[in-house]
Amino acid sequence: MGSRHPNPRLVKIHRNYSVEEVARLFGLHKNTVRTWLKQGLAAIDERRPTLVLGRELWRFLHGRRRSAKQSCGPGRIYCIACRTPKVPAGKMADCTPIGHLAGNLCGICPDCDRLIYRRVNLAKIDAVRGDLEITFKQPLPRIGESAVPSVNCDSSQKANAHENA
């Protein structure tokens, strides 16, 4: 199965890759790799077949990942379905703490009505908040504590799916 966010760790930086090999490595179509070449992935030279240094492939994929993360600015949550950061409907989001330091923002995509999630560092939440109205949920009860678990935002699984998507 292909991935829209190929993992740079699969790349061996000391070898060269042909377009076909890159496509196979990540389970992508060759045209996707050709698109990367147009988007700034540098080939070794102009000759055919096109070869790419592993190190260059790694650099390119890493840069893409970083820009994907950075493009999700304050007050926005990435919608997997729409493939763009969205200001959640009503500019509202719930935040469910995960442990002491992290939380899961949960909102609704204004365009496709899906739940959208963003993992946040609670210490830096003001940098993420933008002009959102954030409702803080109680942390999930620890095992052994008798509390009714919140079912409002059953998000940990989907949030993981988001991160791996």
Smallest gap from Cβ 79 to Zn ion, in A, equals 3
Nearer to Zn ion, 81 or 165 (CB): 81
3-class DSSP state of 52: strand
Smallest gap from Cβ 99 to Zn ion, in A, equals 28
Chain position carrying tokens 């997997």: 80
Smallest gap from Cβ 111 to Zn ion, in A, equals 5
| Cβ contact 41:60 at 8 Å | yes
Binding to Zn ion by CB under 5 A, coded x per residue (else -) over 107-126, reads --x-xx--------------
Site for Zn ion in 8-67 (CB under 5 A): none
Extract the tokens encoding 128: 């993420």
Neighbouring-strand partners of residue 105: 95, 118
Query: Using CB under 5 A, which of the segments 3-11, 36-44, 74-82, 146-154 binds Zn ion?
Result: 74-82
Smallest gap from Cβ 87 to Zn ion, in A, equals 11
| Cβ contact 32:72 at 8 Å | no
Task: Report the candidate in 27, 26, 33, 28 with the shortest Cα–Cα distance to residue 50.
Answer: 33
Nearer to Zn ion, 50 or 155 (CB): 155
Query: What's the CA gap between 78 and 85, in Å, rounded?
Result: 4
Smallest gap from Cβ 114 to Zn ion, in A, equals 5
The per-residue b/e assignment along 14-39, b for 16 or more CB within 10 angstroms, e otherwise, is eeebebebbbebbebeeebbeebeee
Nearer to Zn ion, 41 or 86 (CB): 86
| Cβ contact 22:57 at 8 Å | yes
Nearer to Zn ion, 88 or 103 (CB): 88
Site for Zn ion in 75-104 (CB under 5 A): 79, 81-82
Binding site for Zn ion (CB under 5 A): 79, 81-82, 109, 111-112
